[in-house]
Structure 1
Amino acid sequence: MLLKLNVSDSRPLHEQVASAIRRAVAEGECAPGDRLPPARELSQALGVNTNTVLRGLRTLRDEGVLEFRRGRGVTVAAGADRRSDLVDLVRALVEEAARRGYSKADVIKAIEGVS
């Protein structure tokens, strides 16, 4: 699993860690049942404190994306790979925009304008 943090992102680091792992799961880099590397390894790879990684992992556990199991480490929870939910929302947005006379390029510009 290749994770990167965006140094220009203003969000707290633990949120960035959670987002990076969430995206890796959604993109299929790790599937339900896969075991994540230990927090210490993740922290070294990302260049952040281990407690920061642990806080991000706990956030994902609370969201149901990860499972913590004694003796088995941290694994991706069943059903956590719901990237299709996001794709469905995007598809619905593009379809609604088309009904209102907007192109995909217009939608992209609108999204880029949202901060």
Structure 2
Amino acid sequence: MLLTLDTADTRPLHEQVAGAIRRAIAEGECAAGDRLPPARELSRALGVNSNTVLRGLRSLRDEGLLEFRRGRGVTVAQGAARRSVLVDRVRDLVAEAARFGYAKADLIEMIRVVP
């Protein structure tokens, strides 16, 4: 898995780390059940602090893309690629809604009434 960060990107580094891993999963570089390199190794490869990498990994765990298992490390969750695509679409929807002045709560309400 070859990850790179864009130095011109203004997003926080942990979000860039999560995005790079999310992209690797979506593009099939990492399949369900694959083990990721340790955070310390990823931090060296990306040139960022290991706490930054851990924060990015935790956000992907919270999205359901990664699983943390004691003694086994961090692995790609089953169905992660499909979920990754859906999460990206949701992010796009939230961003577009914000441009129109809608908050996340407004979107949630809209989704509730969709049959």
Settle same-fold status: TM greater than 0.5: yes
Listed one character per residue, the Cα deviations across residues 93-113 of structure 1 (whole Å, up to 9, x for unaligned) are xxxxxxxxxxxxxxxxxxxxx
Code of the aligned partner of 2:51:
N
Larger radius of gyration: 1
CA root-mean-square deviation: 1.6
Aligned 1:32-43 pairs, distance under 5 A: 32-43=32-43
| Contact 1:43-1:53 at 8 Å conserved across structures | yes
Q: Which runs of 4+ in 1 moved over 3 A?
A: 83-86
SS at match of 1:59: helix
Asked if residue 54 in structure 1 is aligned to residue 54 in structure 2, the reply is yes
Among all aligned residue pairs of Structure 1 and Structure 2, give the percentage whose two residues are the same amino acid. 82
Does the C-alpha gap of structure 1 residues 28 and 10 become closer, same or farther in structure 2, counting only changes over 3 Å? same
Instruction: State the aligned residue count.
Output: 87
TM-score using structure 2 length:
0.72
Tell me which residue corresponds to 2:82: 82
Extract unaligned runs of 5+ from structure 1. 90-115
Does the C-alpha gap of structure 1 residues 84 and 69 become closer, same or farther in structure 2, counting only changes over 3 Å? closer
Asked if residue 19 in structure 1 is aligned to residue 29 in structure 2, the reply is no
Give how far 1:82 is off. Answer: 1.5
Give how far 1:81 is off. Answer: 1.1
Tell me the distance in 2 between the aligned counterparts of 1:84 and 1:54: 19
Tell me the distance in 2 between the aligned counterparts of 1:4 and 1:66: 19
Tell me which residue corresponds to 2:31: 31
TM-score using structure 1 length:
0.72
Extract unaligned runs of 5+ from structure 2. 90-115
